[in-house]
Amino acid sequence: MKSMPVAPIADLRVAQLIDANLDRAREGLRVVEDWCRFGLDREDLVVTLKDWRQRLGRHHHDSYKQARSTATDQGIGLSHPAQQERHEPWHVVAANCARVQEALRVLEEFARQPDPQLAASAAEIRYGLYDLEVTVLQANTGKKRRQQLQTCNLCLITTSQSDLANNDLLRTVSAALVAGIDMVQYRNKEASDLQRLTQAKELASLCRKHGALFIVNDRIDLALAVDADGVHLGQDDLPTDVARGLIGSERLLGRSTQFLAQLQKAEAEGCDYLGVGPVNSTATKPERQPIGLAYIKEASKATQLPWFAIGGINISNLEAVRQAGAKRIAVVGAIMNSQDPAATSLQLLEALR
């Protein structure tokens, strides 16, 4: 809808103020829009931001521009030390969202009488930006998680509490993280919900301290409760679309697969990474027949997604798994049952490199 022209505002100061804040709002929206376009590849967000920018442009009448006087503007060139602290793209995005919101609020207040159409548009866009900012920052978090996932080559999966006392669990995982493990999956089929929640919180905190990804096995509710980086599901767990609807697009979603058709289905459904196995028989799932190295060879040619070979892998058989095409592995007993989990983690990491 085309904005109706407005009569020149009698108070030149108000016209200058409206002009300056229209500039600020449109410029800030363009910064956020370009990050959504080039940084996040989110066409849906770009469309919304572009529409807001164009709407404000239609309200930017010549009478406001003609009131502009940069020569007498005492605020030109002013900066703040906080501007030097924006070291990450999301810092820039957050700062520009705030800049736009502030400018729109000024427009609402000062344009309410002389230009009610502009005031109404400013209010509508401001409230819309509050929600869009959250979406942008969540998408940024998801992008960072997926970038980090690409660099992970060793995932530690924990054992049940019955196998390991809580303090031993934390010490073992901590030692592995210090050694360089960059992904931990919390798996506990036997503890109570309260025990799981306590352990998951402590492990999530450890992973954040060491900059490692923290994944929860099966339990989406638990993953959300501790703000985990993602959830890993088996073939009998929730369908991918249902799980994605619950965890959102910013968290990682992994799926275990035992043969090629399952792998292809998981990839088509939008999983972020895959488990491939069990390669060998394993105490974790003794009922599961090992698939050997044939499926590893198939997986290495069938998908571009990150995938982890799993199932009875240790330092003695790792080379064969690597020769079959695996670049990433997930282990349980090799580290959790080790007398020296830090040394074992280093051995595995070095072998994978």
Q: Tell me the Cα Rg of the chain.
A: 27
Cβ atoms of residues 130 and 55 within 8 Å: no
Is it the case that residue 72 has pLDDT exceeding 80? no
Q: Are 82 and 217 in the same domain?
A: no
Separation of alpha carbons 185 and 330, rounded Å: 9
What DSSP designation does 158 have?
Answer: P
Residues 108 and 77 in one domain: yes
Q: What is the pTM (predicted TM-score) of this model?
A: 0.74
What's the pLDDT tens digit per position in 218-227? 999 999 999 9
The answer to whether residue 4 sits within a structural domain is no
| Whether residue 164 is found in the same domain as residue 313 | yes
Statement: residue 308 has pLDDT above 90:
yes
What is the pLDDT, as a whole number, of residue 289? 76
Which of 145, 172, 197 lies at the terminal end of a domain, its last residue?
145
In this structure, what CATH number is given to the domain that contains residue 296? 3.20.20.70
Tell me, yes or no, whether 205 and 311 share the same domain: yes
Residue 245 structure tokens: 């609807």
Q: Within this chain, do residues 184 and 296 fall inside the same structural domain, yes or no?
A: yes
Residue 22 and residue 68 share a domain: yes
Residue 162: its pLDDT value, please?
Answer: 44
Residue 27 shares a structural domain with residue 96: yes
HSE, CB side, 13 Å, CA atoms: give it for residue 315.
Answer: 13
Give tens-digit pLDDT for 139-150.
888 989 999 999
Tell whether 2 is covered by a domain. Answer: no
Residue where a domain terminates, one of 93, 120, 145: 145
Range with lowest mean pLDDT among 2-6, 55-59, 330-334: 2-6
Cα 79 to its chain centre, rounded Å, is 31
| pLDDT of residue 281 exceeding 80 | no
Range name among 21-35, 174-188, 242-256, 288-302 with the lowest pLDDT average: 288-302
Kindly indicate the confidence band of residue 157, based on its pLDDT and cuts at 50, 70 and 90: very high
> DSSP assignment of 79-115, as one string?
--GGGGG--SHHHHHHHHHHHHHHHHHHHHHHHTTT-
The domain tally of the chain equals: 2
Domain boundary among 145, 165, 194: 145
H-only helix segments in 185-231 = 193-210, 220-225
Of the listed ranges 140-144, 154-158, 313-317, the least confidently predicted one is 140-144
135 with 173, same domain: the answer is no
Of 131-135, 154-158, 161-165, the least confident: 161-165
pLDDT score recorded for residue 86? 53
Nearest Cα to Cα of residue 97 among 52, 42, 64: 52
Is 203 a member of any domain?
yes
Nearest to 273 by CA among 318, 319, 226, 310: 310
Cα–Cα distance for residue pair 86/35, rounded to 1 Å: 14
- pLDDT of 288 above 50: yes
pLDDT exceeds 80 at position 191: yes
Asked whether residue 166 carries a pLDDT value surpassing 70, the answer given is no
* 133/212 same-domain check: no
> Distance between CA atoms of 167 and 120, rounded to whole angstroms?
58
Cis bond leading into 89, ω under 30°? no
Determine, yes or no, domain membership for 7. no
Give Cα 51 distance to the centre of its chain. 26
14-37 burial string, b = 16+ CB within 10 Å, else e?
Answer: bbbbbbbbbbbbbebbebbbebbe
Q: Examine residue 258 and state whether it is found in any structural domain, yes or no.
A: yes
Report which of residues 230 and 1 the model is more confident about.
230
Establish if 326 belongs to a structural domain. Answer: yes
Reported as type and span, the H/E element at residue 329 is: strand 329-331
Residue 3 forms part of a structural domain: no
Q: What percent of the chain has pLDDT over 90?
A: 78
Question: Distances in Å between the alpha carbon of 129 and those of 21, 157, 277?
Answer: 16, 40, 45
Domain assignment of residue 86, yes or no: yes
- Residue 189 is predicted with a pLDDT of 86
Clarify whether residues 323 and 176 are in a common domain.
Answer: yes
Q: How confident is the model at residue 93 (pLDDT cuts 50, 70, 90)?
A: very high
pLDDT class of 88 with cuts at 50, 70, 90: confident
* Mean pLDDT across the chain: 91
- pLDDT at residue 89 above 90? no
Cis? peptide before 114, omega within 30° of 0: no
More confident residue, 107 or 40: 107
> Do 59 and 26 lie in a common domain?
yes
> What CATH number should be reported for the domain holding residue 105?
1.20.1260
Helix (H, G, I), strand (E, B) or coil at 203: helix
Q: Please count the other Cβ atoms lying within 10 Å of the Cβ belonging to residue 102.
A: 15
DSSP state of 317: T
Q: Helix or strand or coil: residue 155? A: strand
Instruction: Give the chain's count of helices (H) and strands (E).
Output: 14, 8
Kindly state whether residues 320 and 196 are assigned to the same domain.
yes
CA-based nearest residue to 244, from 115, 142, 118, 127: 142
Report the interhelical angle of 12-34 vs 89-111 (nearest 10°).
150
Angle at 30 between CA 91 and CA 16, to 5 degrees: 105
Report the alpha-carbon distance of residue 293 to residue 276 in Å, rounded: 10
Least confident interval from 15-24, 284-293, 317-326: 284-293
Domain that holds residue 29: 12-145
